[in-house]
Amino acid sequence: MTAPGRDDPIYVAGHRGLVGSAVLRDLEAAGYRNIITRASWELDLREQQAVRDFFGTEKPAWVVCAAAKVGGIVANNDYPGEFIHDNLAIQTNVIENCRAAGVRKLIYLGSTCIYPKMAPQPIREEHLLTGPLEPTNEAYAIAKIAGLKMCEAYRKQYGLQSVTLMATNLYGPGDNFDLERSHVIPALMRKAHEAKLAGAPAMEVWGTGSPLREFLHVDDMASAVRFCLENDVPHSMVNVGTGDEISIADLTRLICEVVGFDGELRFDTTKPDGTPRKLADSSRLRGLGWRPAIGLREGLAATYDWMLKTVDLRLNASA
């Protein structure tokens, strides 16, 4: 299969989210000139007829589906009905209309959180559906697994070319820094910054700090999306990660260095740690020639700079 031409119509669904906005930036920087986007208020991807009309009018030749209802552990646990309904509706409408419109390739974005809770480490693609899911995000995971399997079924029956990318923990520009809903890096970054501004002698961190996690800058994720869009990928699904692990304790220290907070770190061991280790095996994608380019410290520094310039948290008042 040939790569997209620079003037081919490419639809990026979810272009205002963390991953979608990075994909949009990356495609534009690579010289693609006919990128189609719609905000959710312009096109509700849950509405079947609206999506059918959009595909019929715009006729995209290539599609990146980064649109999804996402959230942290609290939102996933409190609103499972919304998470399974909205994600099933969004991806079903997009995948079906990719088929109907004769789209040349679909890049569908998943997450390593769809793997079994106790999957062997590092997690390989074949570990999918080999054990129970993490209960707190089961609704989201089941919806995303259904999308992956729908892509595989459509490839088998209709010849729809697609690749599902399972991303590890992502961070970077466009992240959510709300302490109630953010993931670990933006949450720790905001806490460290606010502790610095307050001149606090210490900063509290949940858990023991011992769990190991893998983090990928969202711009590297976008480069993986474009790599799979432009190249033949002989797999229906591939993991996307760095292959590097860091403990939560060491991550917190690194973030504090980047932010400039030099107070004490107090680990609240009464709070849960979560899974001890979560590492994706990305050898399939690496074997095809893709590599991440952004180191963790470099990525954290760029993310902090973006947070200071962009996020309305009254961060700049004393910075």
Which has more pLDDT, 307 or 134?
A: 307
pLDDT band of residue 312 (cuts 50, 70, 90) is low
Is 284 labeled as ligand-binding?
no
Is 16 labeled as ligand-binding?
yes
Is 17 labeled as ligand-binding?
yes
Q: Which of 316, 192, 195 is nearest to 255 (CA)?
A: 192
The whole-angstrom separation of Cα 196 and Cα 47 is: 46
Q: Note if 158 is an active site residue.
A: no
Specify the 3-state DSSP secondary structure of 144: helix
Q: What is the pTM of this model?
A: 0.94
Distances (CA, A) of 142 to 54, 80, 240: 27, 11, 20
pLDDT at 316 over 60: no
pLDDT at 177 over 90: no
For 247-277, write each residue's pLDDT tens digit: 999 999 999 999 999 999 999 999 888 778 8
pLDDT, mean over the chain? 93
Which DSSP letter does residue 215 get?
A: E
Active-site annotation holder among 140, 154, 171, 304: 140
Place of tokens 């109907």: 100
Looking at domain 10-170+214-240, its CATH superfamily turns out to be NAD(P)-binding Rossmann-like Domain (3.40.50.720)
| Residue 181, pLDDT score | 67
For 68-114, write each residue's pLDDT tens digit: 998 777 777 788 999 999 999 999 999 999 999 999 999 999 999 89
Residue 12 in tokens: 């990026």
pLDDT band of residue 137 (cuts 50, 70, 90) is confident
Which DSSP letter does residue 232 get?
A: -
Cα 40–Cα 45–Cα 51 angle in degrees, nearest 5: 115
Is 15 labeled as ligand-binding?
yes
Q: What is the mean pLDDT of residues 30-58?
A: 98
Cβ pair 239, 178 in contact under 8 A: no
Is 112 labeled as ligand-binding?
yes
Residue 254 in tokens: 């690194």
| Residue 136, pLDDT score | 83
Q: Let me know if domain 174-213+244-277+295-310 sits in CATH 2.40.10.10.
A: no
pLDDT at 318 over 60: no
Enumerate the domain spans of the chain.
10-170+214-240, 174-213+244-277+295-310
For 201-220, write each residue's pLDDT tens digit: 999 998 999 999 999 999 99
Is 144 labeled as ligand-binding?
yes
Is 71 labeled as ligand-binding?
no
Q: List beta partners, residue 217.
A: 171
Is 111 labeled as ligand-binding?
yes
